Amino acid sequence: MIDPKVKKALINSITEINAERKAWCDVHGVPMPEPIETLDLIMKKEFALQILKGEKNVEFRSVTQHYQNRLFDKKLGAFLDKHTDNEEIMEQCGMWGYCDELRPVKTIHFHNYNNDWYLDVEVLHNGYAIANKEDAESLHLYDCYDLDALVEELDKKNEEERPVFFIFIISKVVATNLEV
C-alpha cells in the first residue's frame, strides 16, 4: 500500500486545503459538496486482486456524464447555476478552485456484475488527473504508473487535448470475500 510518510503528508495537505476551501466558501455563502459514504463501483476481478495484494493504489474512472452525475454535488451545481453572474465565485469553480462540485468519497464497494465477490476500500482522497506529464508524475508517489504510457503516446502525437480522469487513492482494504 501507500508509504506511511506519503500518506501522512497527503492527509495533512488535504486537511489544510479543505480548511481553506471551507473558510472561503463560508465567507462567500457557497455550500461545500456533501461527502459520499460509500460509492458502489463495478470492477474487474484482476484489478480487485491487485488492490488486495497492495499492487494497485489508485483507481481511475473517465470523466464522463455518467460519473459526473454520480460524483458531482447537484446542490452545489444548482447554487453555481444561480450565481453565474458572480465573477468572484465563478473564477473559483472547477477542479482547482474553492467551488469544486466533486464530492469526497469515504469508501468504495467494488464488485463484479453478478456480485460474486466484493472488495470494500477506504479512500484516502479522490480528485482529478489529466493525462499530462505533471499529473502522471504526481501519481508516482502512490506507486501508480498507469498514466505514463498514455502520456508518452499523446506527447508523441503532440496532442493538446488530454483526457481527464476521476482518481481514487486507496488507503486500505476494509472488507472482502476475495482470497489472494
Q: What is the pLDDT of residue 27?
A: 94
pLDDT computed for residue 96 by the predictor: 82
Give tens-digit pLDDT for 55-81: 999 999 999 999 999 999 999 999 999
Nearest to 147 by CA among 158, 136, 162, 159: 136
**148 contacts 136 by C-beta, under 8 angstroms:** yes
What's the pTM?
0.94
Please list, in sequence order, all residues whose beta carbon lies within 8 angstroms of the beta carbon of residue 113, skipping any fewer than 6 positions away.
42
The per-residue pLDDT for 2 is 84
Q: Residue 131 is placed in which grid cell?
A: 493525462
Domain boundaries, the chain: 4-176
How much is the pLDDT for 60? 98
| Structure confidence at residue 135 (pLDDT) | 97
Residue 149 pLDDT > 90, yes or no? yes
User: Which one, of 94, 106, 116, lies nearest residue 48 by Cα?
Assistant: 116
Q: Which residue has the higher pLDDT, 180 or 167?
A: 167
CATH topology of domain 4-176: 2.30.130
